[in-house]
Structure 1
Amino acid sequence: MTVVRGLREALVLFVIAVLVVAAAVALWVVVAGGDYTSRLGVALIVVGALFGVTGDLTLSRIGMLDARSAFGVPPEREEAGGGRVLTGVGIFLFVGLPLILAGVLLIT
């Protein structure tokens, strides 16, 4: 059951990312002109890479580590994901990597 929830979460994240990127690229093309497909491919690659790097909360946890240790509070636990099922690796594999591959296919 957890696998289905994780795949559903990945699908929702993927669809939302594609819709937001498509709208942003449409605005980009309206303002600056140019080819929609190649710009969509580049934007998907960039967003996929950002999902791969920032898919989990590691960067925000590193930023708060000094403040938490100054007050004697232990580091945040990985399980405190706010109801998320996918880990950072899962977000990279099931959201970021497909976005990058779709972007590469649109550019070529």
Structure 2
Amino acid sequence: MTVVRGLREALVLFLIAVVLIAVVVGLWVAVDGGDFPHRLGVACMVVGALIGMTGDLTLSRLETMPARTVFGLPPEREGAGGGRVLTGVGIFLFVGVPLIVAGVLLV
């Protein structure tokens, strides 16, 4: 059951990302002109890379590590994702990589 929930979550995240990218690229083309599919592909690759790097809480935990160490507190819990099923690796593999592949195919 967890696999199905994780894949459903990945699909929802992917669709939200594609819709938002398409809206922003549509505005970009309307304002500046140009080729929509090419710009959509480049934007998908950029957003896919950003989601792959920042898909979990690792970057936000980096700034609190020294303070937690000074006070003798343990590192933040890995499962503090707010009810999410996918980990950072799952978000990278099932959301970031498909966005990058779609971008490469569009360019």
Give the TM-score of the pair, scaled to structure 2: 0.95
Q: Show the counterpart of 2:24.
A: 24
User: Deviation of residue 30 (structure 1)?
Assistant: 1.1
- Counterpart CA distance in 1 for 2:39 and 2:58 is 30
Q: Could you report, residue by residue, the CA deviation over 1:68-98 in whole angstroms, capped at 9, with x for unpaired residues?
A: 2233332101011110111111111100000
In 1, the alpha carbon distance for the partners of 2:70 and 2:32 equals 48
Give me the whole-angstrom Cα distance separating, in 2, the residues matched to 1:79 and 1:104: 33
User: In the TM superposition, what are the counterparts of 1:39-54 in structure 2 within 5 Å?
Assistant: 39-54=39-54
User: Which residue in 2 is equivalent to 1:13?
Assistant: 13
Please state whether the residue corresponding to 1:73 is helix, strand or coil. Answer: coil
Q: TM (normalized to structure 1)?
A: 0.94
User: Counterparts in 2 of 1:1-108, with a 5 A limit?
Assistant: 1-107=1-107
| Bigger Cα displacement from structure 2, 68-77 vs 32-41 | 68-77
**Unpaired stretches in structure 1, ≥5 consecutive residues:** none
Cα offset for 1:48?
Answer: 0.4
Whole-angstrom CA distance in 2 between matches of 1:70 and 1:33: 53
CA RMSD for the aligned pairs? Answer: 0.9
For structure 2, which runs of at least 5 residues remain unmatched after alignment?
A: none
Moved over 4 A (4+): none
* Aligned length, in residue pairs: 107
- For residue 56 of structure 1, report the CA deviation from its aligned partner: 1.0
- The alpha carbon displacement at 1:10 in A equals 0.1
Tell me the CA shift for residue 27 of structure 1. 0.8
Q: Distance in 2 between matches of 1:59 and 1:80?
A: 14
Per-residue CA distance 1:46-75 (angstroms, 9 max, x = gap)? 000011111111010111112222333321
